[in-house]
Amino acid sequence: DQQVKQNSPSLSVQEGRISILNCDYTNSMFDYFLWYKKYPAEGPTFLISISSIKDKNEDGRFTVFLNKSAKHLSLHIVPSQPGDSAVYFCAARGLNNAGNMLTFGGGTRLMVKP
Partner 1 sequence: DTGVSQDPRHKITKRGQNVTFRCDPISEHNRLYWYRQTLGQGPEFLTYFQNEAQLEKSRLLSDRFSAERPKGSFSTLEIQRTEQGDSAMYLCASSPPTGGYNEQFFGPGTRLTVL
Residues at the site binding partner 1, with contacts judged by CB under 8 A: 4, 6, 9, 32, 34, 36, 41-46, 49, 51, 89, 91, 93, 98-107
Enumerate residues 6+ apart whose C-beta is below 8 A from 70.
none
Residue count of the chain: 114
In whole angstroms, the minimum distance from the beta carbon of 69 to partner 1 comes to 21
Q: Name the β-bridge partners of 74.
A: 22, 65
Which CB, 44 or 75, lies closer to partner 1? 44
The angle formed by the CA atoms of residues 35, 12 and 7, to the nearest 5 degrees, is: 55
In whole angstroms, the minimum distance from the beta carbon of 14 to partner 1 comes to 26
Enumerate residues 6+ apart whose C-beta is below 8 A from 30.
3, 52, 92, 93, 94, 95, 103
In whole angstroms, the minimum distance from the beta carbon of 53 to partner 1 comes to 11
Which CB, 4 or 13, lies closer to partner 1? 4
Which CB, 5 or 79, lies closer to partner 1? 5
In whole angstroms, the minimum distance from the beta carbon of 29 to partner 1 comes to 15
